[in-house]
Amino acid sequence: MIVMIQELNELRRRLQSLYRADEKSCVRYLVEKVELSTDSKNRIYNIAKQIIERIKHNKLDIIDSFLQQYSLSSDEGVALMCLAESLLRIPDDHTVDELIKDKIVNQEWSKHLGSSASLFVNASTWSLVIGSSILKTEEKDSKFYHIISKLLKNLGEPIIRKAVKHAVLMLGKHFIIGESIEQVLQYVTPDQNLYSFDVLGETSEEYFNTCMYSVKTIGEARNSSDDCFKSNGISIILSALHPRYEFSQFDHIADEVLGKILALCREAKKYNISLCIGAEEAEKLEMSLILFEKLRLDESLSQWNGLGLTVQSYQKRALHILDFIEDVAVRSKHKVMVRLIKGAQWNSEIKRAQELGMINYPVFTRKSYTDVSYLACAQKLLSKASHFYPCFATHNAYTFATIMEIADKNHPGFEFQRLYGMCKDMYDYVMSELATNISCRICAPVGTHGNLLPYLIKRLFDDRSFISHDVDLLIEDPLEKSKSFNYEPHPNVPLPQDIFGSDRKNALGIDMSDLVTVTQFFDEMKNFANKKWQIGPIIDGQLLLDNAKFYKAVNPADLRNVVGEISDATDEQVLNALSIARSAFSQWQDISVKERAKFLEKAADLLEENIKELIYVLIIESGKTIPNAISDIRKTINFLRYYAVIAKNKLNDVEKLPGMVGENSFIEFGGRGVFLCISSLPSAVVDFIKQIAAALATGNVVLVKPSKYVPIIVYEVVKILHEAGIPHDVLHFIPGNVDTIYDKVEGIVFTGSLQTVRIINERLIGSGIPVIAETDGLNAMVVDSSALMEQVTTDVLSSAFYSRGQNCSVLFIQNDIAEKQIKMICDAVEGLRIGNPIELSTDIGPVVNKISMDMLVQYTKKMSEDAHSTLLSKLPVNMDGYFFPPYIYEIEKISQLKQEVFGPVLHIIRFDKAQLHEVINDINNTKCNAFSLHSYIQSRVNMISKRIFTNHIYINRSIDSKVEADGINYLKYFFQEKTITTIFDT
């Protein structure tokens, strides 16, 4: 539970209430707040147009000409930017060549010939046309041309590689001021522009040391001004000071982060230079505000006004963040530097909210709304001159003109800011002609091109407002534009709950980055703490506990905590359930598909209403962590809705077929009869309930046999299905041994191990009874040298270790990056938390029972004794309960793995690039269940996706075996078709 940030004053409560507020009401409020007179709007328009007209005829330098020709709105521009982003971080020439070929060959470069006034751009385009031709391999070429092409290819690839790398370095030099702070300060002269430097570091310690050194170096080189706003400064990213800078970890890391940033601030105060805290994802804002408040109120930083904070206007909370900062400024009796930006992580904010099923977005969905928010914030900043030193970071002429219009002519001081390498012409003009008494600070990244270019390319993708050629678009009034939209959100960005279209809703999530929500969540968890379950068979709607023999279910995280008592069904009860279900089949068949679908949709709604209790059950019964438990229940809800929609749209009761004159042919879809749903895996709750839903949707009656170790969650879901309208005689809950009816049902659907499904199949040889099995086998991930290693690390941790792992068993890493990638993974594992899953900070909970624990102990002991495996990492653990730490082994071949391992154990295999096809063959021979590929070479992605034989393929993301991927083809296993042909008199 978050302790440090529990207390919420009125300001922070109001701030948090706007986190994911209704967009329309937010925008309406901001437009009314900012409303300008007609005269003001006319002056703003004229100034903005004057700026655009003045600079658009300026001769562009080489890079600006190139970016204008290959804009990010074109496929060719995007291809070049992707190439630039990846090229310098790839260590081997072979992969570099493949990347260049991948991005260059299939683009239409010839359409850009002669389109630019720049000789360099036209020469570059000719080079791209020729390079594309050389790199193509067309089998249809004539023999002579093929020989020439091959010769050019062999000679040309190294030349092309060198030329492309040189071009990327030119791009880097345009946007990166220098590779070290000493180099930068030699370039910067005190009588020119002011700078704010962003530095990089590969680890948190390296970043802190680099920042500390940079502050000292900048301070020693500063001019003699007593005003900290009139000297160069530095910008700091808090998340770079600690690898676990996350809301869930804040209690554990707050003191360490505060200590580091306080030390940097004290050093900045010593030299009287500014230090601005940079903006990050919306879910980190609350942490940043708390740390900012503690810093500003710290006595050791008194008499220093250089502490700054960045505010992103695309956040709905932006204006009210300023209220919070103002309150801190008043209490601390200091002016605060506020850097106002529009925001640079829009795509990831939208995707994150959709992925988690949030009620709304933390950001606006239209650019004009962000612009309005920016202007509202600017008004606030300019109206409180005694509390704020405003820094307006913008590349937009209209925004600049508006700020100049609303600023008091006697304002004591504010500044504009721009990114190094961008909008130089605009600011050279406006600073010399329109705002001669106002300074413009340049925000300049410092570091190696390989490390910084990915960041800068992302900034280019996110900041396209000044790349437009259309003057009218550049000087549109965001207030009028917002009104023209009637303040409505963008129609192409549906709310997170509506991303699946009008047919079904995305399951609503729980925002565990919002303190108000988190507090309410844990209050509700306390309500369930004393609840004890007593469960047994539910047959024909009756819970049968008479003369029952119970066994205890204990919390795997706390073996003293008895969760409840379970009674298994007797053989007689199992046969009785089978008889009742079979009698109900014909009546259930008579209920239309649409009615059955409504039952499933109602069940999904009820699960959503009861999500907190179901999450609690998953945590205390199976050891799921809070994020995993939320995710599992949401996926269960989504599967119920998914199959309901498929049933309604695809499983019509009768479908007319084309036929001869005088005949009518129809096909009817119906259930097979009684389906026995069995789960032997304690971790596969989502897959199991998905199968129950599929059987019901297709018109079958169902007997549910849960895993012995997690029956309570299934018991609760069965009760909800009954409450939703599934008839009692159609769905029965029979925990315990059901071997006696394997051959008495019309179908078996099974979730569990390969070993168990083989036993079932052997029992049913010759019976004709279908067995639909989903087994957890080995899952593999392949990482080539074009992969983004930070993303790989995150996805490996998520797949192999979070909760208790098992979504990634084997990780293949290309040799060229293996050493660095393995170190990053091992270092990240050291920061994981093993503990009680009821705590938000826990990453790895317990395994579900002693059998699983003992199996893992025996397995890791055997692996540690294997001469062909090397233990790379093991996290120590000393706790009561079934806690098992993460293990990482390096092995030589996937064939060394002889069994499924259900726990946080990862096996790493290195491979040479030439062995990639062999790796794919090995994975196919092992019959892996799921596969992930991390590669930014699209041709390689296409090739491997076709060759791999797994059920689920994930590209540049973590492995998740419960993605909604089973559609109508899966449901066909659950129903039978009946063809009816009638002859009528013509």
Q: Tell me the pairing of strands 810-814 and 779-783.
A: parallel
| 357 backbone φψ class: left, alpha, beta (φ>0; ψ -120 to 50) | left
Res 867: pLDDT: 77
Res 185: pLDDT: 87
For the chain, the structural domain boundaries read: 10-35+175-485, 62-172, 515-775, 780-958
- Kind and range of the H or E run holding 218: helix 204-220
Tokens linked to 729: 């005689």
Res 255: pLDDT: 96
Res 470: pLDDT: 47
User: Phi/psi of residue 83, each to 5°?
Assistant: -65, -45
User: In the sheet where 550-555 sits, what is the strand order?
Assistant: 533-535, 558-567, 550-555
Q: Give pTM, 2 decimals.
A: 0.89
Res 669: pLDDT: 75
Which architecture does CATH list for 10-35+175-485?
A: Alpha-Beta Barrel (3.20)
What's the angle, vertex CA 484, arms to CA 478 and CA 489, rounded to 5?
Answer: 85
Cβ distance 672 to 974 under 8 Å? yes
* Cα end-to-end span (Å), the chain: 77
CA distance 189 to 223: 10
Q: Which long-range contacts (CB under 8 A, 24 or more apart) does 60-67 make?
A: 60/118, 61/174, 62/118, 62/120, 62/121, 62/170, 63/170, 63/171, 63/174, 63/421, 65/116, 65/117, 65/118, 65/120, 65/121, 66/118, 66/120, 66/121, 66/124, 67/460, 67/467
Tokens 């159609």 identify what position?
A: 730
Closest CA to 279 of 399, 426, 372, 391: 391
Tokens 């009821």 identify what position?
A: 838
User: Phi/psi of residue 21, each to 5°?
Assistant: -70, 165
Distance of CA 456 to the CA centre of its chain: 20
- Kind and range of the H or E run holding 76: helix 75-87
Is residue 677 part of the annotated active site? The answer reads no
User: Phi/psi of residue 589, each to 5°?
Assistant: -65, -30
Res 118: pLDDT: 47
CA distance 315 to 283: 11
Out of 267, 774, 890, 900, pick the active-site residue: 774
SS3 984: coil
User: Phi/psi of residue 347, each to 5°?
Assistant: -60, -45
CA distance 986 to 972: 35
Cβ distance 785 to 913 under 8 Å? yes
CA distance 269 to 251: 27
In the predicted model, residues of the chain with pLDDT beneath 70 are 1-7, 58-85, 103-172, 174, 190-191, 224, 449-473, 653-654, 682-684, 776, 803-806, 873, 875, 961-967, 984-986
Cβ distance 932 to 809 under 8 Å? no
Out of 423, 677, 808, 928, pick the active-site residue: 808
Tell me the CATH number for domain 515-775. Answer: 3.40.605.10
Tokens 């006697």 identify what position?
A: 410
Tokens linked to 980: 């009816």
Tokens linked to 617: 């059950």
Closest CA to 811 of 827, 829, 792, 830: 792
CA distance 733 to 535: 10
Distance of CA 863 to the CA centre of its chain: 33
Closest CA to 553 of 569, 568, 539: 568
- Kind and range of the H or E run holding 932: strand 930-934
**β strands within 658-787, DSSP E:** 663-671, 674-679, 701-705, 731-733, 747-752, 771-775, 779-783
How large is the C-alpha radius of gyration of the chain? 32
Res 70: pLDDT: 46
Res 449: pLDDT: 66
Q: Tell me the pairing of strands 674-679 and 194-199.
A: unpaired
CA distance 736 to 753: 17
Domain 780-958 has CATH 3.40.50.720: no
- Kind and range of the H or E run holding 217: helix 204-220
Is residue 774 part of the annotated active site? The answer reads yes
